[in-house]
Copies of this chain bind each other. A is one copy, B any other.
Amino acid sequence: MSDLTDRLVQGLPDGAVVVDPDVTAAYRHDMAGFCAAGQPAAVVFPETVEQVRHVLRTATELRVPVVPQGARTGLSGAANAVDGCVVLSLVKLNRILEIDPVNRIAVVEPGVVNAELSRAVEELGLSYPPDPSSWESCTIGGNIGTGAGGLCCVKYGVTSEYVLGLDVVLADGRLLFTGRRTAKGVAGYDLTRLFVGSEGTLGVVVRAVLSLRPAPAPQLALAAEFPSADTAGAAVCEVMARGLTPSLMELMDAVSVRAVNELGRMGLPESTQALLLVAFDGPDRVAELARVARLCREAGATEVVPAEDEAESDLLLAARRMALPALDRLGTTMIDDVAVPRSRLAEMLNGVAVIAERHGLTIGVVSHAGDGNTHPIVIFDASDEEETARAQRSFDEIMALGLELGGTITGEHGVGLLKRDWLARELGPVALDLQRQLKAVFDPLGILNPGKMI
């Protein structure tokens, strides 16, 4: 038994330190492609805050890197192991400690699965809006680490809007409390939001006070078929410019529509170049949907199918939920996550089509259109080295295009390993310098998720 393992087991329950390489191999990486993953020295499963502190204190003393992990559903390699590290899995800190309908907060441990929390608060007439695609398996800790988004964001915003306070174990094992349990508060610098999206590079979140909302009414949706990205993009702009705020506004391109048809026999119109899905959940949803239907037709939609009820709405939206698995069947996929001002959405989509053509690749695009957040999905044959290189180049060109259009290299998936080199390009030298210094304040030895993000 190494010194590291020896020390770790002293403060952890039986079986909570795993060193068998056959087992630890499963904890080497998240769901991102193209990211290096090392071999951990150990994977640990603490069950209490005190045990997390023990792990961090040990790591600090022995100068061993620590890689925090949730459900490893991330798409940027932020949870990938580095050689000789301790993988700190938070999945056993998984209790919902409190749900308080009067103060509209939940207090949870980081290993709570998003869907579990969503269902628990729903029973009390509340909702926790952030809904990444992986919501059935991803954890709240991972959502906080990446600053996760989802389909709800056009109306309800992202994770960062829902985190009021955090308990964080620092690199040296100290316990930090940030934020508050109150609706408002401005006492001191906002450390809470600094941790949201910090990908485990500043500390380990061990408890979170989350803000909740009243559960919305069921969504009523429509689907609109457009002959081009330009017409669909114009419809999106019109809807937003008219002061309408849908609870969902998603755009699927021709590639993803066809993929979904193949997988699910959904009977979506094969001729479509862009399929827009729009939903409302407010008391005026019938009237709002009718207005959107009219705006879509005016913008050039060739067909508009409004759902009559909730069940029909669910059917329409199922197509969108199916897009990623459907595209995954076509080859190895590399999902990008570039957000642009929504007024530039059509330019982004047209630009991606040009990139796909230039590299002779299939790139399907699903977008949270209301947010201007596109997910171009590059499809390629991973056994073909040359094609893989083209895929990588097109992935980079998509990010460059996003920046050119006034956007960001990542709307909700994070930087991790995948986009680390691009972060510098987006931030510029002054911001990068400050970010590096901030990292050093929280983690002077550089043991927390080293090599990720910055």
Chain A residues near B (Cβ < 8 Å): 100-105, 125-126, 146-147, 149, 153-154, 157-158, 160-161, 170, 174-178, 180-191, 193-194, 196-198, 202, 213-215, 237, 240-241, 243-245, 282-284, 339-343, 368, 370-373, 406-415, 419, 423, 426-428, 430-432, 434-435, 437-439, 441-442, 453-454
Contacts and interface: CB of A to CB of B under 8 A. Distances in A.
A193 B186 CA distance: 11
Given A194-B193, A240-B102, A430-B170, A186 B343 contact: no
Tell me how many chains of this kind the complex includes.
2
Contact of A431 (B125, B176, B196, B454): B176
A113 to B, nearest CB: 21
A427 B283 CA distance: 42
A160 B174 CA distance: 28
B191 A343 contact: no
A196 B370 CA distance: 26
Nearest to A180: B408
Given A103-B342, A189-B438, A191-B431, 10 more contacts: A153-B184, A157-B161, A160-B190, A182-B372, A184-B411, A184-B412, A187-B419, A190-B193, A214-B245, A434-B441
A181 B153 CA distance: 15
Contacts of A184: 149, 153, 158, 339, 368, 371-373, 408, 411-412
Contacts of A428: 177
A188 B415 contact: yes
A241 to B, nearest CB: 5
Given A187-B427, A188-B427, A430-B170, A182 B371 contact: yes
A188 B453 contact: yes
A445 to B, nearest CB: 15
A177 B181 CA distance: 31
Contacts of A339: 180, 182-185
Contacts of A170: 430
A4 to B, nearest CB: 26
Contacts of A245: 213-214
Nearest to A153: B184
Nearest to A127: B243
Contacts of A408: 180, 182, 184-187
Given A182-B371, A186-B146, A342-B183, A442 B434 contact: yes
A191 B283 contact: no
Q: Which of A189, A284, A435 is the most central at the interface, judged by chain B CB atoms within 10 Å of its CB?
A: A189
Given A103-B343, A215-B243, A187 B371 contact: no
